[in-house]
Amino acid sequence: MKLRKLNRAVHRDLGYFFFGMCIIYGLSGIALNHRHEWNPNYIIVEKEFKVELKRPLPEEYKEIALMVLAEVDMEDQYRTHLERNNIIRIFIHEGSVEYNIDTGVAFLEKTSRRPIFYEVNFLHYNTPRKLWTWFSDLYAASLIILAFTGLFILKGKNGITGRGAWLVSAGIIIPLVFLFMYLNG
């Protein structure tokens, strides 16, 4: 088998095999690049509302917590609560409600997993460990092989000795410029 034919076969087969990994790391990479603008793993819903409870209030804080949740039709989501200085923090499934007994103001914060992004970030963070680490390392090594084999796919004016040389140079220079700017800026 000729070297160029072997190069194309390796490049093609690695590209096919790691297609899914490219999607996983591409999506999670975009999400993580913008984590200062949004939470890539969770959707967080915040809502403030007023709860008027009938007085006198029960002495048990758990009863008050359940009454607050009943007002917003979430009493079945009660997990536990904490109280301090007439503020009850009620923990519910996927969130919490903070209720001020004096003012009647409640603040709901509910979180849920962001579809697709939670899962791809789970893998990108290398959370599963063990075998996943080996597979991720194999993928990383394959990216290096894909980069080098990609250089020699085409011949002539569009290959590495023509247009490709300019594109490779730009692809190397741009990260170096950013690295220089950020390390010396």
Q: What is the pLDDT of residues 25-34, one digit of tens each?
A: 999 999 999 9
Is there a single domain that holds both residue 143 and residue 157?
yes
Is there a single domain that holds both residue 142 and residue 176?
yes
Q: Got the DSSP string for 130-151?
A: THHHHHHHHHHHHHHHHHHHHH
Q: Is the peptide bond before 40 cis (omega within 30 degrees of 0)?
A: no
pLDDT at 1 over 70: no
Is there a single domain that holds both residue 127 and residue 172?
yes
Is there a single domain that holds both residue 47 and residue 22?
no
pLDDT at 126 over 90: no
Is there a single domain that holds both residue 97 and residue 151?
no
Reported as a pLDDT band with limits 50, 70 and 90, residue 56 is confident
Among candidate residues 113, 141, 161, the one where a domain is terminated: 113
pTM of this structure: 0.75
Query: Domain limits at 26?
Result: 3-36+121-184
Taking the C-alpha atoms of residue 145 and residue 53, their distance in angstroms, rounded to an integer, is 67
Is there a single domain that holds both residue 30 and residue 63?
no
Number of domains present in the structure of the chain: 2
- Name the nearest CA neighbour of 24 among 156, 134, 162, 117: 117
